[in-house]
Structure 1
Amino acid sequence: MSIALQFLVLAIIILSILLVISIPVTLASPGKWEESQNLIYTGVGFWAGLIIFTGVITSFIT
């Protein structure tokens, strides 16, 4: 079970790095926000869900 938790934390780290890079680039590029707005919102929603899911899994382990 702890291996699954480690993979969840790794997924959070990787997704966080991708969002930290992609969101400012998208906002700084002219006209790109309208094109990729849904993708950014989906990524942020998935990130938030991953945080909550990891917290629930952690509560069962400890």
Structure 2
Amino acid sequence: MNFLFQFAVFTFIGFSFLLLIGVPVVFASPGGWTEAKLKTPLFSGLGVWFLLVFFIGIFNSFVV
């Protein structure tokens, strides 16, 4: 159970790092936010990030 929790935290850190780089790249693209082709992967990443936040918060109560 600890391994699953550690894997979830590691995945959360990885997605946070990708979003830390990805969001400024999308906003700095030539068309800006309105013509960005990376909206779909960015929104998917944000969705996974929020799911990981809730999963880690719930799963944290089971890991002692």
Aligned pairs, how many? 62
Q: Deviations over 1:30-51 (max 9, x none)?
A: 1264311111111001100011
Runs of 4+ in 1 over 4 A off after TM superposition: none
| Distance of 1:10 and 1:32 partners within structure 2 | 31
Q: Is it true that 1:36 corresponds to 2:38 in the alignment?
A: yes
> Hey, what does 1:19 align to over in structure 2?
19
Unaligned runs of at least 5 residues, structure 2: none
Counterpart of 2:47 in structure 1 is 45
Percent identity for Structure 1 against Structure 2: 39
**Structure 1 unaligned runs (5+)?**
none
Partner of 2:58: 56
- Alignment root-mean-square deviation, CA: 1.3
Structure-2 separation of matches of 1:4 and 1:13: 14
After TM superposition, give the deviation of residue 21 of structure 1 in Å.
0.5
TM-score scaled to structure 2, two decimals? 0.85
